Structure 1
């Protein structure tokens, strides 16, 4: 048997195992995607492909309960959040279907010589997607759906702990009417991923994952002259400036940190609070985080024993180097990691530049706006951020100076089905979702007409 297996993180039980792909199956997957690109994608209209995507969106929503149960046992997401993810994936796919003709419309250029000139956006061929376990449907939907509408085909390698959600998605796209080869799931090994990237029929690679994985994939893609999009880690700052509503700030910080049991790339991992509000914020934040309950479904188990071991080691390392736990317990019960707040983190500590992937927040006191910005920008990551400030012009000005790809003002969780998502620095490059995400793997073909 291969490495692909469903291991329920709540119990440690191996629910099911799936064989890895053979080299012959990998070859057939690439060939099938290439055939579908030549024989289907290039011969259908944008409207026809968008209509199929709308059917896929409807199926994601129709099957949301079934889909939610799958990832609840694959990676431990609380059931209501798991069902919500499936539903949001349908909404994302529907948004691409609805907006595709507008977002991909020919772009007329005003040129010096007056000749009729425009850009037409078309597919380029089969694209490899390498997807993570933390959002098994959402990450796939925001990559695969726009590319299928654009006219690309998909070879999808999912996380090894998500075989059943991978198969469920492949079935949805087929049931929606996409032909064989348009969306192909492969239970590929790391060596086989390299083989796929090297194949001349594959025209691009999109990866959501760790910084380490991103560096490897970028190197391989660059070697073979393939476009790639990387959505990697994050250690997002949540900055509290002048505000008359500390309760709102606390509520948003808890939501931003605890979404998906803290296993979100753009989770609010570093909470940065002006000195004048710090004591009140800290007390209320501690109480709110400490009040989170596994039994009430506020959080679930971490995704795997390895994930739990890694997070526990990072927190213990911070404590050994002088950090302090304000609330929580760094000794997890199984994969259940009690929501935790640590403070007293300094630049000399390892955790200062690490991403904590789980329900652990770092709390910082700063004396000024400038110090808050400097601290926010000190991370090697640059994915998202939240700025809480009653003066919206000031909040926007602070956002201008943050080295991040996204700034949410006034609240956490302002993602949307038609809003671009992505970062800078070691958080990767490229965008997903929205118009920008739909254009990442497009051939922006120039047309010029003689006078």
Structure 2
């Protein structure tokens, strides 16, 4: 089987890749298990030194990696550079903190000694998406490999060039052969991989449908799974908010990566008293976004990664309008490109309210008061994150307990940070990445009890 990655901006082929044969795949899986035996016994200082070196490789080659990201999935080049540098940051973070995170936890009992060791579990299989083709992989790989596990990557077919470069990062950094391996495979090989004795856990970032399928397979073979799925984040603007600040943040929160982000703000819930001012200023700002050549440093929004994704977004726009929404800006599609779009008068039951919109579409919703605003926010099957804008930060924090999402940001867009646990609730998945929690996901918490 052949895979082709196509530049969504100009339609040119970026690369062609041949799927692994069954024998090649089996050999890689066996190798991962064999290498784990020695890699897991390497001193932690060796593993932290290597992940630190991986950060150096990323920074030294940022332009090459950024060019591949932009070519394969259409992200503006400035955002691609930022993504690579963020990967270096997460590598540095675990190089600096792994010793503390993995230290034995002493627990006082009637034993002479009793403590919990934090040991690696084996090979972790990662199924990763195309929207942040480097970042999604490194936020899994940095803690997982540093903890002493080995890793297998099955990336999205349209970013197989990025996948090969990521494997090369670890090679250049000096990792032993087999610690991190890239798999050029179709998704129909997923069950075979998860079922293999080498694989002890699977982590997936992707759609709700993909997460459900992988979780079922993992459950069948009694393998741990971590799922980071879709989101339909709300962006709540209260009556005392700094509107100019809220608008500036809102543009980034919705349009970064051309809106192709699970944690992007999608539903903008505005109190009546600030509705008109916010909509006027937000619409003006969105219309001024620079579109164009994704290799131009000044470009802010490019195409979506594939035409079918643009088609899906356009369907949601048209369907919402037919249900009573008002088109305030944008709305047009040209192949992979979809104009940054704003829909007003959005209500529950409309596609733009109920569904995850993976692209540059902002759904504007009016709320009578703060209670209704948070009630509307909760009307979603997803639970990834909420942003609230207000000058009364104490009052906002009081509402954190009413939010079922995995993140609650005040006067800031929802974002991932190596220092903070990241993950969702409800249909947004389960488990946590990043921070200490991310390292503990694929650890054997082993009790040691010694009686004299």
Do residues 409 (structure 1) and 406 (structure 2) align?
A: no
Q: Which residue of 2 aligns with 1:28?
A: 27
Cα distance in 2 between the residues matched to 1:138 and 1:190 = 21
Deviations 1:117-155 (A, max 9, x none): 211111000110000000000000000111110010001
Partner of 1:37: 36
CA contact (8 A) 1:236 1:385 kept: yes
Alignment equivalent of 2:53, drawn from 49, 52, 55: 55
Q: Secondary structure at the match of 2:40?
A: helix
For 1:387 and 1:321, how far apart are their aligned partners in 2? 27
What is the distance in 2 between the residues matched to 1:104 and 1:243? Answer: 44
1:326 maps onto 2:300 in alignment:
no
What is residue 229 of structure 1 aligned with on the other side?
226
Q: Does 1:190 align with 2:187?
A: yes
Shift of residue 415, structure 1, vs aligned partner: 3.0
Q: How far apart, CA to CA, are the structure 2 residues paired with 1:348 and 1:255?
A: 26
| Secondary structure at the counterpart of residue 205 of structure 1 | strand
Q: Which runs of 5+ in 1 are unaligned?
A: none
Contact 1:96–1:418 (CA under 8 A) maintained in structure 2 = no
Paired position in structure 2 for 1:18: 17
What per-residue deviation string (whole Å, max 9, x for no partner) do you get for residues 134-180 of structure 1? 00000000001111100100011011001111000101101111111
Kept after mapping to 2: 8 A contact 1:120/1:445: yes
CA deviation digits over 1:208-256, x for unaligned, max 9? 0000000000000001000010000000011111335210011111111
Task: Name the counterpart of 1:246.
Answer: 243
Structure 1 counterpart of 2:163: 166
SS in structure 1 opposite 2:366?
A: strand
Distance 1:270 1:60 in 2: 35
**3-state SS, counterpart of residue 118 of structure 2:** strand
CA distance in structure 1 between the aligned counterparts of 2:241 and 2:179, rounded to whole angstroms: 53
Alignment of 1:285 with 2:282, yes or no, is: yes
Residue 334 of structure 1: CA displacement? 2.3
For 1:306, the equivalent position in structure 2 comes to 308
Q: Which consecutive segments of 4 or more residues in structure 1 shift more than 3 A?
A: none
Aligned partners of 1:387 and 1:399 also within 8 Å: no
Q: Is the 8 A contact 2:387 2:410 kept in 1?
A: yes
Report the CA distance between 1:343 and its aligned residue: 1.8
Instruction: Find the aligned partners of 2:239 and 2:394 in 1 and give their Cα distance.
Output: 12
Counterpart in 2 of 1:79? 77
Query: Alignment partner of 1:220: what SS?
Result: helix
Distance 2:239 2:115 in 1: 48
CA contact (8 A) 2:408 2:414 kept: no
| 1:419 and 1:433 in contact (8 A); partners too | yes
Match of 1:124 in 2: 121
CA distance in 2, matches of 1:153, 1:244: 47
Any conservation in 2 of the 1:130–1:158 contact (CA below 8 Å)? yes
Distance 1:184 1:147 in 2: 13
Q: What is the Cα deviation at residue 84 of structure 1?
A: 0.9
Instruction: Please report how far the alpha carbon of residue 413 of structure 1 lies from its aligned counterpart in structure 2 after TM superposition.
Output: 4.7
Instruction: Indicate whether 1:316 and 2:315 are aligned.
Output: no
Measured after TM superposition, the shift of residue 347 of structure 1 is 2.0
1:95 counterpart (93, 96, 103): 93
Which of these residues, 127, 151, 157, is aligned with residue 154 of structure 1? Answer: 151
In 1, the alpha carbon distance for the partners of 2:360 and 2:444 equals 41
Cross-structure match for 1:394: 395
CA offset digits 1:295-314 (Å, max 9, x no partner): 34111110011111111111
Q: Report SS of the residue matched to 1:238.
A: strand
| Residues 244 and 157 of structure 1, relative CA distance in 2, 3 Å threshold | closer
Shift in Å at residue 351 of structure 1? 3.3
The TM-score, its normalising length taken from structure 2, stands at 0.97
Gaps of 5+ in 2: 293-297
- State the alpha-carbon separation in 1 of the partners of residues 204 and 415 from structure 2: 23
Query: For this pair of structures, how many residues does the alignment match?
Result: 447
Match of 2:432 in 1: 431
Q: State how far apart, in whole Å, the 2-side matches of 1:115 and 1:316 are.
A: 69
Work out the CA distance in 2 between the residues paired with 1:387 and 1:104: 35
Query: 257, 272, 277: which is aligned to 1:275?
Result: 272
Distance 1:350 1:80 in 2: 31
Q: Tell me how large the CA RMSD over aligned residues is.
A: 1.2
Q: Name the residue aligned to 1:136.
A: 133
Deviations 1:385-441 (A, max 9, x none): 111111111111122211100111111155322221110000000111110001101
Quote the residue 2:202 is aligned against. Answer: 205
CA contact under 8 A between 2:41 and 2:148: conserved in structure 1?
no
8 Å contact from structure 2 (residues 347, 365) kept in 1: no
- For residues 187-213 of structure 1, the C-alpha deviation after alignment (integer angstroms, 9 at most, x for no partner) is 111221110011122100000000000
- In structure 2, the residue corresponding to 1:303 is in which secondary structure? coil
Q: Could you tell me whether the CA contact under 8 Å between 2:263 and 2:415 is conserved in 1?
A: no
